[in-house]
Amino acid sequence: MKLRLRLRVPSKPENGLVREHLGTDSDSDSHQQNIKRRKLDEYRNDVIKLERDWKTHHLLRNKKLILVLDLDLTLMESTAIAKLSSEEKYLLEEAEVVEQGGGKGTLFAYQDKKFPLLVKLRPFVKQFLKAANDMFEMYIYTKANRIYALRVARLLDPDGDYFASRIITRDDERPGCEKKSLDEVVGHENMVLIVDDNRDMWPKHQENLINIHAYRYFSSKSAKDGNFKSFAERKIDESETNGMLARILEGLQRVHRQFFHPELEVNLAHGDVRLILKMIRLKVLAGCVLFFSTSWFMGNPPEEVPFWIMAKELGAMCSLELGTAVTHMVIVDMETKEAKWAEQKKKLLVNPGWIEASYHSCRREPEDNFAVHEAFL
């Protein structure tokens, strides 16, 4: 007796069950592509790590750290010639006209047909870069486009001695990247310092950051109201010897000396500029009790006021209440009752610029240089 076995084979997959079980050619291809992409990412990360390790070793052997510098409002300022105020037109006669190369002065005009531009270098910037180059491998990091960045970089570094190809622009970043990061910097984060006027651009690297006061030379970016006159309109400028960059350089020198201190028996590869910067700052105003007048806080809570934040980082105690423990009065108006009280009690009176200057130089600046009647911005 013969048994007949009948196998039922569906003429087509029902509800996609067969396709789901076996998979399609496109699924297989996609899976293989994901594996290749993952392996490529791993390989790329390994290469980047090796490159960073090698660069770190090379720099430390030469007693150098890494310095990342913002461009606009940190090292210079630019403005469209069309935006010059009537009181700034005289600058066109004083500016050095440049095409592609660098110049010898600090004020330059690009007579571009599409966008004629005036560029003003920050006072002391050339001395700053020359001195910093002995201690750091330097990068420019700007949110401007590459053509603009290269053009301005040639004014700062005409021979390519300082930055070479280490210029990072928005054209080099991943699409949609709104903030700055150290991903494009070849070196470990523990040896990187950043100088930028915009603290908010570095959310992941606040401990590496030295926040510099923005350089606003032209009226197009300095005018807060109709009564404010720009540096250019007043025909003045920041101090060469006692300005922002001079103080920043002093702070950088302190961090560099501490990092490579010969008596510190520490493996340099484990040194950390973030910790050194923090420890140096904490000692600057240690023992000082600062009273802040809220009249110039513009309604902001203290913890959001930059000078309050700086003072805390410098080791000072901050207060909104008067008392015998107060050592310094941080005010902008001598006609207030708090100022009168301070004079009676022989307290030290300073404008907020004293905190900023001490923050940048990483040392306690002489209070006498920051009298309340002196402008601090």
What does the DSSP assignment read for 160-190? SSS-TT-EE-GGGSPTT--S--STTSSS-GG
Domain assignment of residue 185, yes or no: yes
Domain assignment of residue 168, yes or no: yes
Nearest to 280 by CA among 315, 242, 243: 315
Domain assignment of residue 356, yes or no: yes
Q: Which of 108-112, 222-226, 323-327 has the lowest mean pLDDT?
A: 222-226
What CATH code is carried by the domain that includes residue 136? 3.40.50.1000
Name the pTM for this structure.
Answer: 0.82
**Do 318 and 351 reside in the same domain of the chain?**
yes
Q: Where are the alpha helices (DSSP H) in the chain?
A: 17-22, 25-61, 91-94, 125-133, 146-156, 219-222, 231-234, 244-259, 273-284, 306-313, 337-344, 353-361
**Do 354 and 236 reside in the same domain of the chain?**
no
Q: 266, 295, 316: which is the final residue of a domain?
A: 266
* 3-state secondary structure (DSSP) of residue 66: strand
Domain assignment of residue 51, yes or no: yes
**Do 289 and 260 reside in the same domain of the chain?**
no
**Do 227 and 318 reside in the same domain of the chain?**
no
What is the domain extent for residue 312? Answer: 285-370
CA torsion 316-318-321-325 (nearest 10°) is -10
Distance CA(39)–CA(23), nearest Å, equals 23
* pLDDT of 15 over the 60 cut: no
Q: 266, 297, 328: which is the final residue of a domain?
A: 266
pLDDT tens sequence across 206-258: 999 999 999 999 997 655 545 678 999 999 999 999 899 999 999 999 999 99
Domain assignment of residue 37, yes or no: no
pLDDT tens sequence across 265-297: 556 667 899 999 999 999 999 999 999 988 778
Distance CA(50)–CA(37), nearest Å, equals 20
**Do 250 and 341 reside in the same domain of the chain?**
no
Domain assignment of residue 364, yes or no: yes
* pLDDT of 54 over the 60 cut: yes
Cβ of 188: how many Cβ atoms within 10 Å? 18
Q: Are 184 and 327 spatial neighbours (Cβ–Cβ below 8 Å)? A: no
**Do 214 and 175 reside in the same domain of the chain?**
yes
What CATH code is carried by the domain that includes residue 352? 3.40.50.10190
* Higher-confidence position of 179 and 32: 179
**Do 96 and 216 reside in the same domain of the chain?**
yes
Q: Are 336 and 315 spatial neighbours (Cβ–Cβ below 8 Å)? A: no
Is the torsion defined by CA of 35, 41, 47, 52 positive or negative?
A: negative
348 sits in which H/E element: strand 348-350
Instruction: Count CA atoms closer than 13 A to 275's CA, side-chain side.
Output: 5
Percent of the chain with pLDDT over 90: 63
**Do 230 and 335 reside in the same domain of the chain?**
no
Domain assignment of residue 164, yes or no: yes
pLDDT, residue 212, reads 94
**Do 68 and 96 reside in the same domain of the chain?**
yes
Q: 266, 299, 318: which is the final residue of a domain?
A: 266
Distance CA(301)–CA(29), nearest Å, equals 57
In the chain, the number of structural domains is 2
Give helix 244-259 / helix 353-361 axis angle, nearest 10°. Answer: 40
Q: Are 319 and 292 spatial neighbours (Cβ–Cβ below 8 Å)? A: yes
Is the torsion defined by CA of 53, 59, 60, 64 positive or negative?
A: negative
**Do 72 and 198 reside in the same domain of the chain?**
yes
Give helix 306-313 / helix 273-284 axis angle, nearest 10°. Answer: 100
**Do 245 and 299 reside in the same domain of the chain?**
no
Q: Are 97 and 91 spatial neighbours (Cβ–Cβ below 8 Å)? A: no
Pairing of strands 76-80, 117-121: antiparallel
Whole-number mean pLDDT of the chain? 86
Domain assignment of residue 174, yes or no: yes
**Do 255 and 334 reside in the same domain of the chain?**
no
pLDDT tens sequence across 162-188: 999 999 999 988 777 899 999 889 989
